[in-house]
Structure 1
Amino acid sequence: MTGAPSLHPFAARLRLGAQPGQGGAVRRIDGAWWPRSYDLTAELPGLLAALPLRWGNVTSVLVNGAMWSLSGDGTPVGDRQVHMRRTGSPRAEDTVCLLTPGQGRWDLLVVPPAATAEEAERIMATATAETQAGRPV
């Protein structure tokens, strides 16, 4: 996504940093995502469709169990099953972790669905400022 989060009702509201984390470096936020709800089964297809092709096929998603509604341990997205797992870790409370075998891991800061457009833009810009020098990807 470029610029401010999309206002199209079905488009993922996503802003990514320029350089995703690599190797053994300390984990940092690779982007920010503003879902419309905490229903991961409903939100996940739109998020995955908005990711860059270079991120590969995400096969697992790790979310904080206290915030998200999950139906089962996975959901079909396109032609694959994406596994969804919960964590109670306070470190992961406001993030979603996307895993792609052989490609890597990406952590997205989650903007609360109830945030206003102004709040979401500020949070997303702050989350990605370190990796993109203020420019949306």
Structure 2
Amino acid sequence: MPAPRLLLTAGASRGPLDGAWWPRCDALELELPALVDALDPGLGTVARVTVDTAAWPDAPRTVLAPGHVIAVSLSWVVTEAHAITLDCGTVGRWELLVVPPAEPVAAARWLLSTAADPYNYLTAADMLALAEAGFGGA
């Protein structure tokens, strides 16, 4: 897979998101290894991810990443819709907006940059609703 389309918050995030990820397809087993491999090694090893069942209905329970296996948990919690949580053991936890693969480029760029803004207080669902309504990236 090519390098992931990813933008992380610089420094400490003050909002509900720590950045955004724009996968090219909805096959988590293909996309997740490239995402994990692109993260700064200083963030720690991703041991578990939690994904929304609506966005990833066929998600496998484990995914092979470079040098280790990542456990995949499925969430039915509405507040976690359109997001992926990356757990890195004692190092930390990151919540990323998942931009839908088919999102138009302009809207996806707006979503990536807005989610990575350390002062963004919008949730993933709120941001996607704004982009769909034409308020972001139009």
Of 61, 76, 90, the match for 2:49: 61
Is contact 1:74-1:82 (8 Å) kept?
yes
Paired AA for residue 78 in structure 1: P
- In the superposition, the TM-score normalised over structure 2's length comes to 0.79
Alignment partner, residue 10 of structure 2: 18
Alignment partner, residue 41 of structure 1: 29
User: Within 2, Cα distance between the matches of 1:20 and 1:83?
Assistant: 26
Is contact 1:20-1:106 (8 Å) kept?
no
Per-residue CA distance 1:40-82 (angstroms, 9 max, x = gap):
11110110111111111101000001111313x1021122110
Structure 1 residue runs of 5 or longer lacking an equivalent are 1-8, 133-137
What percentage of aligned pairs have identical amino acids?
A: 33
Per-residue CA distance 1:1-40 (angstroms, 9 max, x = gap):
xxxxxxxx6110000101245xxxx862111000011211
Is contact 2:46-2:87 (8 Å) kept?
yes
Detail structure 1 runs of 4+ shifted over 3 Å in the superposition: none
User: Within 1, Cα distance between the matches of 2:22 and 2:12?
Assistant: 18
Paired AA for residue 37 in structure 1: C
> 1:116 Cα deviation (Å)?
1.5
Structure 2 residue runs of 5 or longer lacking an equivalent are 121-138
